[in-house]
Copies of this chain bind each other. A is one copy, B any other.
Amino acid sequence: MKIHNFSAGPCILPQEVLNEAAESIKNFNQLGLSLIEISHRSKDFVNVMEEARSLVKELLNLPDRFDVLFLQGGASLGFYTAAINLLPEGGRASYIDSGTWANKAVKEAKLLGQIDVIGSSKADNYKAIPAFDIPHEDSAYLHYTSNNTIFGTQFQGTPEVEVPLVADMSSDIFSRTFDPEPFHLIYAGAQKNMGPAGTVMYAFDRTQIGKTNRTIPSYLDLAVHASKDSMFNTPPVFSVYVTMLTLKWMKSLGGIGVIQERNEAKSKLIYEEIDRNSLFEGHAELSSRSHMNATFQLIDETHATRFDALCKEAGISGLKGHRSVGGYRASMYNALPIESVQVLVDVMKHLEQKQ
């Protein structure tokens, strides 16, 4: 049976990428060796790393002043890494608290300086992207989380402020186009649109690094990694390789503009059904809805057993909502075909007709 993978992350990857990844474990580049048993300093792997870094620059249309790194530790280490590289000793920065992960970013940054939370939707269980105040003019940057997986909310565009931007784009990077000009740093765990778990991408303006007057542990210092072309130490070889394959796949589709259209068609399909179907209601506020994660619930919970059974029968996987929201969450990352969304919509219609 074909599985329709709505998992929130780690999540669906393109089938051709999975096939090539499996082959690389057996025999990489016809070397007679596995990808994971060759030196990361070998030409074969250095080429992988360089291609991955260069594809990020190309797909995101990054200005020349940007460097791209693939490091470890996930966005969770990124919260601290972002602040230690960009928040000067004794300085301040502004943060928008739009969800669980945004809140964690605030917590880690507070270890390093004054953090102004200029907007928060926490009191309303993060049902919407909050309105926010103008960042203090001395803010080193404004940090925001572009998409909130758990709650199904997403910034509809780039915040327009007078200070530089830093964004955790873990759950919507490469899903839509944006202008990188206002950013000092974009970081994103790979395990949604980019690749498997185990690496995090940092894209940053190299002219803005090294100004905090802090002593930075080597692994957390973006300048150290940049000076070694993202090979300061052994990189997460497999995760970087599969990320490179996924980036190539995105390019082969026609780039992020084309992918954005596909994603918008998928989210339109599911949201129209959520709003039309008398048995369901959406969780996130309309103006904050995410194109990546649609959160919704049954108005009458007694239909749950039957809906869950129908979903299972149709091969729908990973639809359970996060425990802090409940209900359902359809995650529709780049690699999810619209056919899978249609299957879910059909099940929802079927449930309504046969009640």
Contacts and interface: CB of A to CB of B under 8 A. Distances in A.
Contact of A233 (B19, B34, B75): B75
A157 interface: no
Secondary structure class of chain A's binding surface, majority of residues: loop
Interface in A163-218: 189, 191, 196-199, 215, 217-218
A237 interface: yes
Contact of A18 (B18, B26, B215, B318): B26
A236 B239 contact: yes
Interface in A275-326: 315, 317-318
Contacts of A111: 215, 217
Interface string A78-109: 00100000000000000000000000100110
A80 B219 contact: yes
Interface in A5-27: 5, 7-13, 18-19, 21-23, 25-26
Interface residues of A, number: 62
A8 B39 contact: yes
A32 B1 contact: yes
Contacts of A113: none
State the copy count for this chain: 2
Contacts of A134: none
A215 to B, nearest CB: 6
Contacts of A54: none
B10 A32 contact: no
A198 B199 CA distance: 8
A36 interface: yes
Contacts of A40: 10, 197
B37 A10 contact: yes
A23 B25 CA distance: 9
A73 interface: yes
A74 B72 contact: yes
Given A77-B73, A238-B197, A38 B10 contact: yes
Contacts of A191: 234, 237
Nearest to A21: B25
Contacts of A72: 72-74, 77, 198, 236
A33 interface: yes
Contacts of A260: none
